[in-house]
Amino acid sequence: MFTFTVARRYLFSNPGQTALLIFGVALGVTAFVFITALIQGLAIRLTDELTANSAHVSLEPAMRIARVLPGEDAETASVAIVSTFQRPQIRPWRSTVALLSTQPSVLAISPQISGSAFVVKGETVAPVAVTAIEPSNLDAISPISPKIVSGDANLGTDGILIGARLAENLGLSAGQPVLLRTDRGIDRLLTIRGIFQTGVQALDERVAYLSIQTARPLFRLPEGVTNIEVKLVDPGEARTTAAFLQAATGLRATAWQDKNAYLEGALVAQAQTGKLIQAFSLISVLIGIASALSLSANRRQGEIGIMRAFGVSRSFIAAVFVLQGLLIGVVGASLGCFSGFVLCFWLATLTKPDGTMALPIAPEEGGYVAVFLLTTFGAVLASVIPARSAARLDPLEAIQQ
């Protein structure tokens, strides 16, 4: 293709300027890749941290609502009262667990009794949220065993696990007895089997773990459970799975995204900010290409004029400039993708003293295909204006200049 040869020669005629132009494009693309990988990495880290330590779908008893049904002659009246006559619980929890176990999307199931209680030591009383679970399922939803800093995670029949902050506040240590007073008014002396430290103050100060067998009499729930927590293979499928489970079990199913709506909002806002930055870096790249090619078209007016004089078509001239844009776009975008990946990969290896990543960056999420296509297409688009102006040059005027 002769137009390609001419375009290539034009680019190579001023290697310094062409290299600078390609460097500018590559730099813009690198910035795009970096921002994309950083934003995606941050979203992945936040999501992972949240989904790794919490249930993806929570099943709770359906809301029991008392209604007044209208008689045949009576006017319709709508009354709905949340019933407090019966305690909300899931009685047929074993059949629900059995159903969940057949779902390939389900990774782990944890039936629980959740309630409020006080830890009492002498005159000091501290409120705690109690989570009672099957001891074998202790780590199914939120891994507690690895976070035990004193004692062990073996709950037994009279054991309790408390957070480090609570232990510190009450001067408690592993192996000591402690009195637990539940919201049902039942007291029981339990042994602190282990003390955990999650790093989250609210958990380390306000959460305690019991075995489900220990909790039954304490919360007067001889048969049922208060909730069933479910972990999925793919946390992204939580909403779909929740809808399915709600329909299949009649229980209230809540996906983790709906429990943490603030996070989703923050991630969306962050992604939008990132898109703005990406757009600006692309626009600056395209302006650079357009202005460089416009200058080239201006500088080559005489040559273009003589080409037009001896009968070279306008489309040939336009194609030469569009191809220059394409070449700059392809080479610049390729180099930018490569340098962006190398930069992100290197940043991903940097760690803080505690061994965690210094930057939450995901090199594999740099949006390489998107930025390559956008830059290449944009470069072609940016070259259209100089290409049109070159093709429209009046040969006589161009030669006389």
Partner 1 sequence: MSAVLDARGIGMTFRNGDEMTEVLKDVDLSLEPGELAALLGASGSGKSTLLSIVGLLLKPTTGSIEIAGRRVEALSDAERAVFRNQRLGFIFQFHHLLPDFTATENVAFPAAAPAGGISAAMRSRARDLLARVGLSDRMDFPATRLSGGQKQRVAIARALMNKPELILADEPTGSLDRVAAEQVLDLMREVNLEDKATFLICTHDLNVAARCTRRVTLKDGRVEQVVQG
Residues that bind partner 1 (CB under 8 A): 1-3, 5, 9-10, 12-13, 302-303, 305-314, 316, 395-396, 399
**Residue closer to partner 1, measured from CB, 10 or 93:** 10
What is the four-CA torsion angle of 32, 33, 38, 44, rounded to 10 degrees? 120
How many beta carbons lie within 10 A of that of residue 78, not counting itself?
Answer: 7
**Residue closer to partner 1, measured from CB, 265 or 302:** 302
**Residue closer to partner 1, measured from CB, 10 or 368:** 10
Q: Measured from the CB of residue 7, what is the shortest distance to partner 1 in angstroms?
A: 10
CB proximity list for 366: less than 8 A, separation 6 or greater: 33, 34, 36, 37, 40, 337, 340, 341, 344
Alpha helices in 102-237 (DSSP H): 164-170, 201-206, 212-218
Q: Measured from the CB of residue 308, what is the shortest distance to partner 1 in angstroms?
A: 7
Nearest to 139, CA basis, from 80, 188, 194: 194
Q: Measured from the CB of residue 297, what is the shortest distance to partner 1 in angstroms?
A: 14
Q: Measured from the CB of residue 2, what is the shortest distance to partner 1 in angstroms?
A: 5
CB 212 within 8 A of CB 132: yes
**Residue closer to partner 1, measured from CB, 1 or 247:** 1
Q: Measured from the CB of residue 385, what is the shortest distance to partner 1 in angstroms?
A: 21
Q: Measured from the CB of residue 289, what is the shortest distance to partner 1 in angstroms?
A: 20
**Residue closer to partner 1, measured from CB, 96 or 324:** 324
CB proximity list for 236: less than 8 A, separation 6 or greater: none
- For residue 174 the two structure tokens come to 């592993």
Residues 251, 329: Cα–Cα separation, whole Å: 55
- Please list, residue by residue across 303-342, b when 16 or more beta carbons sit within 10 angstroms of its beta carbon and e when fewer do: ebbebbeeebeeeebbbbbbbbbbbbbbbbbbbbbebbbe
Calculate ∠ Cα 205-153-170, nearest 5°. Answer: 30
Q: Measured from the CB of residue 17, what is the shortest distance to partner 1 in angstroms?
A: 13
**Residue closer to partner 1, measured from CB, 185 or 311:** 311
**Residue closer to partner 1, measured from CB, 18 or 334:** 18
- Taking each continuous run of H as one helix and of E as one strand, the counts in the chain are 13, 12
Residues 3, 222: Cα–Cα separation, whole Å: 84
**Residue closer to partner 1, measured from CB, 1 or 261:** 1
| Element at 173 (helix H, strand E) | none
**Residue closer to partner 1, measured from CB, 263 or 312:** 312
Q: Where are the beta strands (DSSP E) in 200-330?
A: 207-211, 227-232, 252-255
**Residue closer to partner 1, measured from CB, 2 or 346:** 2
Q: Measured from the CB of residue 321, what is the shortest distance to partner 1 in angstroms?
A: 14
CB 357 within 8 A of CB 348: yes
Q: Measured from the CB of residue 346, what is the shortest distance to partner 1 in angstroms?
A: 39
How many beta carbons lie within 10 A of that of residue 262, not counting itself?
Answer: 8
Q: Measured from the CB of residue 380, what is the shortest distance to partner 1 in angstroms?
A: 20
